[in-house]
Structure 1
Amino acid sequence: MAAGSGAAGASIDLWHAGLAETVSLIGEDGFPAALERALRHLVPFQMMNGFAYAPGGKAFDLDNARIVGDRTTIVDHYLAGAYILDPFYDAVRTLPPEGLLVMRRLAPDRFAETEYYRRHYQATGILDEVGFILKLRDVDAVLSLSRIGAVPAFSRRDIARLESAAPVVRALAERHWHARFTPSSGSEAAAATISHPLLSKRELEIVTLILKGHSTYSIAATLGVSPNTVKVHRRQAYAKLTISSQAELFHLFLSRR
């Protein structure tokens, strides 16, 4: 990108200077903060943080030293098991690394009605989130940028700028965090799961998709069954668990993690 004129040109000049500082700090403790400062010259945001995921699905702390807000919810509860409901968690395991993860593009149709959304996003004030997929030596990771508080969501122009910057951001971040996790640390503990001895495999699939924010019709499309079949399995699962709402479902499987 060539330097332009006026405010846009100044912003690009600062981005280039920030990149130079970031490159000089690869492998050093100051790298994440330098990358965060550089990215803010492209697009404003309130928080950069990241999580890594071992091949078996277990989540780890990649970069959460500068959390804005409630660390217990954003990091501790997430790592304890709530990450299995995160659309970015599914995306990093199924999508190619190119481009940019955009939460509102990935989230299921009823995501904003879920207990996970209420507890993780509404409770912490996270309004919008985008992320870069990182392919590290032994794990995959997502480095996220979040808008928090009374601010606009990321605009199409913001997303276009970050998509343009994604290749260099990934290259730098992958070099810095390349060997951050080893196979032994990635297999220390099992991934969080949603399981219950009373539920069939199909019932577990459906309650998992409910917790992730899929509507009846979205579940039907995902599993290749009819909406009526989804309703029958959901009713049977709720009866076996003696619950009647998604909030109770969340409490049963995730609130104590």
Structure 2
Amino acid sequence: MNSQDANVVAKLIAAIGHPHLGKCLCAVLDGTVSFDMSCLYLFRFDQPAELLHNGYNGQVSARTLDAYSRGGYLLDPFYVASTHRHPGGLWRMSDLAPDSFFYSGFAISPDLHPCVSSTHGTSIDEIGYIVHLQARAALVFSVMKSHKRGAFTDSEVEYLQAVAPVIRAVLEHHGRQLPHQLDSTDVDSKLESAFVGALGQLTEAQRYIAKLLLQGHSNASIARQLSISEGTVKVHKHNLYQRLEISSHAELFRLFIGYIAQTAR
């Protein structure tokens, strides 16, 4: 380690417990990993997403970030991984995402998803560290590259892996020094409250399938998750669509968006 690297790490350690930690994390990557945006979120099961570092550099509107924090995060693969016992570490969004995620309403909605580029419907490459703090609570530090610049290169990913132990240790200590206690959560809960509010007239099984659909799972993926046939999934979909008086995934997504809009009033 040269003196410049030592200075960066020293600043990183000094930033633990302070709001500017995100900027110091970015400094660790600057010069080796090229990225356009960054963020640090605290994800807790059934709690609003908390943005601890806004490195979107003015490319994401306050309205989008507000909608995301009020419920959009429930469809984010990083949130799902953070609160549903997925292993921590360095993960690409594309590796966490369900099979139909990049065709889902969330993934192509610049009004709800901060990681959609300014060109409507085009995604960016996102890679992030998931650091679990306790059951169903994690810090996630992500960096994002716009579609115009291509994906993160193999050498960039190698560097991100190389510094992962430092990033993990810093975020673990930062989590212990957050100015509020991490709320204990009901680990036996099956449905996040926003989904219950948006889809309250469905049965519990129908709400769970609706949640998986909204998160970007195909019929085949849902069948695998629930150990049922695709035909049974289709029956459940037909019944929940009938109960909600809708006929498509797009309408289901609009119901969810409508619920989030109502919570802002």
TM-score, length of structure 1 as denominator length: 0.83
Could you tell me how far 1:231 is from its partner in structure 2? 0.4
C-alpha displacement of 1:130 = 1.1
- Aligned with 2:163: secondary structure? helix
Aligned to 1:225: 228
Instruction: Look up the match of 1:142.
Output: 140
Residues 14 and 38, structure 1, Cα contact 8 Å, conserved in 2: no
Which residue of 2 is the match for residue 182 of structure 1? 180
Q: Post-superposition shift, 1:29?
A: 4.4
Alignment CA distance shift 1:149-1:46 (3 Å):
same
Shift of 1:209: 0.7
Structure 1: how far apart are the matches of 2:98 and 2:49? Answer: 21
Aligned to 1:127: 124
Q: Equivalent residue for 2:253?
A: 250
Q: Once the two structures are aligned, what percentage of the paired residues are identical?
A: 31
Which structure 2 residues correspond to residues 93-242 of structure 1 after superposition, within 5 A?
93=83, 94-97=85-88, 99-119=89-109, 120=113, 121-122=115-116, 124=118, 126-136=123-133, 139-183=137-181, 192-195=193-196, 196-242=199-245
**How many residues were matched structurally?**
244
d(CA) in 2 for partners of 1:136, 1:234: 36
1:8 corresponds in structure 2 to none
- CA apart distance, 1:174: 2.8
Structure 1 residue runs without a partner (length 5+): 4-12
| Residue 66 of structure 1, CA deviation | 5.1
What do the CA deviations read for 1:47-75 (whole angstroms, capped 9, x no partner)?
11121123544322222265441233552
1:118–1:176 Cα change, 3 Å: same
2:87 is aligned with what amino acid?
A: P
The structural deviation recorded for 1:30 is 3.7
Deviation at 1:142, TM superposition (A): 0.9
Alpha-carbon distance between aligned partners in 2 of 1:218 and 1:29, rounded to the nearest angstrom: 39
Tell me the residue number matched to 1:87.
Answer: 77
Q: 1:172 is aligned with what amino acid?
A: V
Give the whole-Å Cα distance in 1 for the aligned partners of 2:5 and 2:93: 24
Any runs of at least 4 consecutive aligned residues in structure 1 with deviations exceeding 6 A, and if so which? Answer: 184-187
Q: 1:140-197, CA deviations, whole angstroms, 9 ceiling, x for partnerless residues?
A: 221111112411112333222212211101212332343215238788xx95431234
One-letter code aligned to 1:161: Y
Q: Give the CA deviation at 1:111.
A: 0.5
**Worse-matched range after superposition: 88-97 or 230-239:** 88-97
Letter in 1 for 2:225: T
CA RMSD of aligned residues (A): 2.7
Q: Match of 1:38, SS?
A: helix
Pair 136,217 (structure 1): closer, same or farther in 2 beyond 3 Å: closer
CA pair 249-34 structure 1, distance change in 2 beyond 3 A: same
Tell me, yes or no, if the aligned pair for 1:102 and 1:129 is still in contact at 8 Å: yes
Equivalences for residues 2-21 of structure 1 within 5 A:
15-21=5-11
Quick one: distance in 2 between partners of 1:208 and 1:75? 21
Amino acid in structure 1 at the alignment position of 2:11: E
The one-letter code of the counterpart of 1:171 is: A
TM-score normalised to structure 2 length: 0.81
- Superposition pairs for residues 67-82 of structure 1, below 5 Å? 67-72=57-62, 74-82=64-72
Shift of the 46–14 alpha-carbon distance from structure 1 to 2, 3 Å rule, reads farther
